[in-house]
Amino acid sequence: MKKVNFRHSTSRKLLFSVAFLFTFSFFGLAQNDAAQDTTATEQAASGGDAAQAAAGSDLGDPAAGKELFNSLCAACHKPYSNSIGPALHGVTDRRDRDWLNSWIKNSAALIASGDEQANAIYNEWNQTAMPAFPQLSDSDIGDILAYVEQPKPEAPAATAGAEAGAEGTGGGGVSVNIILGILVFVLAALMLVLFLVNKTLRNFADASGIVIPEKPKTKPIYKAFVENQFLVLVSSVIVLLAVGYFAYGWMMQVGVDKGYQPIQPIHYSHRIHAGDNQIECKYCHSSARTSKHSGIPSLNVCMNCHKSIAEVAPETATEEYSKEFYDKEIAKLYDAVGWDPATRTYSGEEKPVKWVRIHNLPDLAYFNHSQHVSVAGIQCQECHGPIEEMEIVYQNAPLTMGWCINCHRETNVRIEGNEYYEKIHEELSKKYGVEELTAAQMGGIECGKCHY
């Protein structure tokens, strides 16, 4: 289960050097690729938009409708599937336009007026009232309807797009290979030329009777080395030191799980949540504000949003993880929390998720999130790394004592507006003759502050 990347520092160093060498050779290449990719996606996107615009043009502007839909309707409605309210795709076929206008502007009034259709749907959806939107003009409603009446984007189209992308990159690869081939060819040609020149010169020398002087036979180099005791001594000292250095380095990383990236029971992507959707970390990890634990959010927190998000948008899918993959992971959440998306009810059958803990601080060290998050105002990323980019979370910091202490030595205590620090700061800054106090000066590197 435990998968650790970059465990050994030596192998890491080797890898680094190789990477360094190859950087130059592939740098230009990568740039080419990237450029091509972006243009490809842009084209696809604009193409799609154009097609959609064309399809919905008789009702209104689907682009404007999308904006309105997301801000007003998306909490309860989805275009293609039922949510808190019914799916809206095809609604213009089911109802006439005037009815829709009056329903959207004030559904309660319509129901109260005794409209048969209105009452039927009100009762069908468990008498959940839809809020009134008197601010919407008829043309706004038209825009929204234009948006929801767009044909459902076909899944094969997405695959096709991906394939096209793959071909595109494949084409780039060919051109690189050609350049490489040419280079190899040129090099080989050069070697051949050199060899031939050398041979020709020797032939000339033979022909003109010049005797090339033989090199006097010297001792083989290894023998000379062995006989030179000083050199042996120096090099063995160097070898020993090197071995010691690397052995120490190896031993020091024992138990340091930097880069630990276990596979979790549900593939939860911080990239999607914290990165793409900009969800504040402490929305889910709320106990980081008040507790020593940041807390793994309980599943009811997930359900705050995922009650209405049963599938990811097609854009969320990456090359590595398809939309189907992500949707299956959301289904895992539903299974664990006992939610039936079809009937939109909880079955009561709960299966707690056994997450694999990534950051394992030993029991002997006390760490309190709220001290760092609420009092010091440190960003989560400071220790946890670019969490908003992580598809699978890994341990970013070594979590060694040295790492803690370094930070405590370098970081100034945030005292602004905190009455607790007022007197202490005044006295201590006078004592140390400084304006800003580090955590260490405040007593943050005393052993007993973390070990008890």
Partner 1 sequence: MSSNKKYWKSVEELNENSSVVETLQQKEFAEEIPVDEFLGDKSSLESSKTSRRDFLKYVGFSTAAASLAACEGPVTKSIPYVVQPERIVPGVANYYASTIADGFDFASVLVKTREGRPIKIENNDLSKFKAGVNARVHASVLSLYDTKRVKRPMIEGRNVSWEEFDREVGSALQNANGDIVLLTQTFASPSTSKLIQEFSQKFGNVRHVVYDTVSEDAALNAFQSKYGRRALPNFDFSKAEVIVGVGADFLADWYGGGFDAGYAKTRIPENGKMSRHIQFESNMSLTGANADKRVPSTPSQQKAVLKALKAYVSGTSSTSDLPANVDDAVVKAASQLRKAGSAGVVACGLPDEQAQTWAMEINEALGSRVMDASNARVIRQGNASEVAKLVQDMNNGSVGALLIAGLNPVHTLPNSKEFVEGLANVETVVDFTTRTDETSKLAKYVAATPHYLESWGDIQFSEQSFSLMQPTIRPLFDTRQFQDTLLKWSGNSMSYYEYIKDTWSAGLGDRNWGEVLHDGVFQANSPVTVASGATTSNRSYNIDDQAGDGFELMLYTNTALGDGQQANNPWLQEMPDPITRASWDNYVTMSKADAKALGVMNENVANGALNGSYVNVSIGDTVVNNVPVIIQPGQAKGSVGLALGYGRKEGIQDEMQTGVNAYPLYKDFSSVQKVKIEKAPGVHEFACVQLHNTLMGRGDIIKETTLEIFNTKDAHVWNKVPEVSLNHIETPVTSPEVDIWDSFDRSTGPHFNLSIDLNACTGCGACVIACHSENNVPVVGKDEVRKSRDMHWLRIDRYYSSEDTFTDDLEKKENIGGLGSSLSEFGELEEPADNPQVVFQPVMCQHCNHAPCETVCPVAATSHGRQGQNQMIYNRCVGTRYCANNCPYKVRRFNWFSYAKNDEFDYHMNNDLGRMVLNPDVTVRARGVMEKCSMCIQKTQKTILDAKREGRTIKDGEFHTACSAACDKGAMVFGDVNNEGAKILEKKNDDRMYHLLEYVGTKPNVMYQTKVRNTTEV
Rounded distance between C-alpha atoms, residue 171 and residue 156, angstroms: 22
47 near partner 1, rule: CB under 8 A: no
Nearer to partner 1, 141 or 284 (CB): 284
Binding-site member from 29, 76, 317, 356 for partner 1 (CB under 8 A): 356
350 near partner 1, rule: CB under 8 A: yes
CB-based contact 389:275 (threshold 8 Å) = yes
Amino acid at 26: F
255 near partner 1, rule: CB under 8 A: yes
What minimum distance in Å lies between the beta carbon of 285 and partner 1? 11
- Supply 292's token pair: 């020593």
Of residues 217-246, those binding partner 1 (CB under 8 A): none
275 near partner 1, rule: CB under 8 A: no
212 near partner 1, rule: CB under 8 A: no
Binding-site member from 364, 377, 402, 435 for partner 1 (CB under 8 A): 364
Q: Which stretch binds partner 1 (CB under 8 A): 46-54, 111-119, 195-203, 290-298?
A: 290-298
- Supply 100's token pair: 């829709």
What minimum distance in Å lies between the beta carbon of 397 and partner 1? 16
- Supply 70's token pair: 């997301």
174 near partner 1, rule: CB under 8 A: no
Contact mark string toward partner 1, 102..141, x via CB under 8 A: ----------------------------------------
- Supply 163's token pair: 């394939």
Nearer to partner 1, 172 or 338 (CB): 338
Of residues 373-412, those binding partner 1 (CB under 8 A): 374-375
Closest CA to 403 of 441, 374, 365: 365
Binding-site member from 40, 44, 108, 296 for partner 1 (CB under 8 A): 296
Nearer to partner 1, 77 or 285 (CB): 285
Binding-site member from 298, 304, 379, 406 for partner 1 (CB under 8 A): 298
What minimum distance in Å lies between the beta carbon of 332 and partner 1? 13
Closest CA to 61 of 140, 165, 118: 140
Query: Contacts with partner 1: how many residues (CB under 8 A)?
Result: 61
> Residue 152 has what DSSP assignment?
P
92 near partner 1, rule: CB under 8 A: no
447 near partner 1, rule: CB under 8 A: yes
Rounded distance between C-alpha atoms, residue 199 and residue 205, angstroms: 10
* Long-range pairs, 350-358, Cβ under 8 A, ≥24: 350/299, 353/265, 353/266, 353/299, 354/265, 355/264, 355/265, 355/296, 356/1, 356/2, 356/262, 356/263, 356/264, 356/265, 358/260, 358/261, 358/262, 358/393, 358/394, 358/395
Binding-site member from 114, 362, 377, 402 for partner 1 (CB under 8 A): 362
5 near partner 1, rule: CB under 8 A: no
Rounded distance between C-alpha atoms, residue 363 and residue 252, angstroms: 19
Rounded distance between C-alpha atoms, residue 323 and residue 329, angstroms: 10
Rounded distance between C-alpha atoms, residue 410 and residue 376, angstroms: 13
Nearer to partner 1, 1 or 212 (CB): 1
Nearer to partner 1, 207 or 254 (CB): 254
Closest CA to 323 of 84, 162, 109: 162
Which residues have a Cβ under 8 Å from the Cβ of 307 and sit 6 or more positions away?
339, 344
Rounded distance between C-alpha atoms, residue 402 and residue 9, angstroms: 17
Q: What is the Rg, in whole angstroms, of the alpha carbon atoms belonging to the chain?
A: 34
Q: Which stretch binds partner 1 (CB under 8 A): 266-274, 336-344, 380-388, 402-410?
A: 336-344
Binding-site member from 100, 272, 310, 337 for partner 1 (CB under 8 A): 337
Binding positions for partner 1, rule: CB under 8 A: 1-2, 7, 254-255, 257, 260, 262, 287, 290-293, 295-301, 336-338, 350-357, 360, 362-366, 368, 370-371, 374-375, 417-424, 427-428, 431, 442-443, 446-449, 451-452
